[in-house]
Amino acid sequence: MEAGPGEDVRAERPSEEAGPAEVRPAEAEPAEHDAAEADPVEAGFVAALAEAEPEELVPAEGGPVRGGPGEGRAARVVPVEARPAWVLPAEPAHGVRYRAFAVPTSHGSARVHLVEADLRGPGLSADLLYPGSVTDRAPVSQMARRQGAVAAVNGDFFHMMENQHSGVAATGSASGPQVMHGRPLKAAVPEGQRFGWKPLPGDSAQDVVGVGTDGKARSGRLKLSGRVETRTGGFALGGYNQYALPVGSVGLFTSRWGSASRARAVCGSDKRRSGPCATEVYEVTVRGGEVVSGSATPGSGAIDADTQILLGRDAGAGVLRRLAQGTRVRIDYALGAGSEVPFRFALGAHAVLRGHRVLPGLDARTAEPRTAVGIADAGDTLFLLVTDGREGTSTGLTVRELATVLHSLGCDEGLYMDGGASSTLATRDPDTGTVAVRNQLQDGQERRVPNGIAILAPRSDGPGKGPGKGPGKGPRWGGDGAPVRD
């Protein structure tokens, strides 16, 4: 996981003390560019391609890529040197391709692992990779196996460690919103409380990537709207199943939160994650639509399906103190995307490429393992991308280089997610049916993460049957194989 906005990348990541590779002095960032403009990294791409022997290139299976903005993109990447069979072009399922290739950069060669999914394929879909609750974490490969995924990648930045507030435990929860099967699981934390790289102007903790109910991949912004109503009045909700609440607000916690302590939710400020914890705190338990208890201390432990917890900080605590035992309450909430097509699933991600243009202001100094998502062909094609780094000879990529790779693949949109030791991409072997990690992990270990993206397809009847043969019988619900609870 990477650091919070405006903070040292290594400030809270002991596992990443090896440090990033400083690749060159800071350069003046160019304005947005499109395919017609020159870029040093993309130029290196093309030059390496021109010098490579034909048999060294990863061919576009079945001929050129279909027409549109991504036409010809498969011919613009250079594969890694000869490696075990798992890095060669493979098809985990019909409509899903995996390949690995090398990106030449000024600081060395960076190895990239790429899954391309045609969301128009029969029975093919994308969903949230989910460990069972907002505060649970699990390795990507484990969640992929449980959900019957043919490919999967890690997702949003998350609250992995807590060393700024003594005695307060980390929650493991992601920073951004989450939606699964059209149901909101959590909302975004305040801007100053999120983890990740320094945000660009106009960027938001509410930014997401996902797939809509129309089956097309897209980016968007999910804003919480909600109210608590009683017979004598009501008030707005400021948070939903998130590890940090806005100052002066009331947040809602449900069974989807999990069993982690809610104490961290009242610490920090809207602008500073390290800000002090609130001194005025109050928590109310609602069961069956009725207030049953109150407490001046945030609680912990699993929340029953018929129970909701309202937690207030600062002025929000005073509002909750007025709710006497026995008060009837109605709680309504939603995550609004502001578009006609709602998200079927979504998770936090941040734009590096928009309208087929690399965004200005992206970091061009620090090379690290990266995770990204690309969208092409008007949302019909979804790319999952991970780069190696920190281990072996691969240098990783800067954020700007990452955006350039996505641009070179023909993506219209590109979004950056949690990198470093979190970067993990796994695919299913179509011959054996096993799911395995394809990238080189830091210290050889998968990090447990709170979410990701899963590519789902009809499962084969067994090992050796090949992709797409047989009915899709795998679980397509939560990471524990159970449906998400309301």
pLDDT at 199: 81
pLDDT at 39: 57
**How far apart are alpha carbons 255 and 259 in whole angstroms?**
8
Is the model's pLDDT at 90 over the cut of 90? no
In terms of Cα–Cα distance, which of 388, 392, 351 is closest to 367?
Answer: 388
**How far apart are alpha carbons 187 and 205 in whole angstroms?**
9
Average pLDDT over residues 123-140: 97
Name the helix (H) or strand (E) containing 98. Answer: strand 96-105
For 271-289, write each residue's pLDDT tens digit.
999 999 999 999 999 999 9
Give the predicted TM-score (pTM) of the model: 0.82
Q: Give the lowest-confidence range in 132-141, 316-325, 363-372, 474-483.
A: 474-483
Helices of type H across 272-409: 315-321, 399-408
Higher pLDDT pick, 83 / 293: 293
Is the model's pLDDT at 44 over the cut of 90? no
Residues 220 and 343 sit within 8 Å (Cβ to Cβ): yes
The band of 168, judged by pLDDT with boundaries at 50, 70 and 90, is: very high
Q: Give the lowest-confidence range in 54-63, 69-78, 139-148.
A: 54-63
Average pLDDT over residues 216-226: 97
**How far apart are alpha carbons 470 and 406 in whole angstroms?**
33
DSSP per-residue letters across 389-424: -SSTT---B-HHHHHHHHHHTT-SEEEEE--GGG--
Average pLDDT over residues 198-222: 94
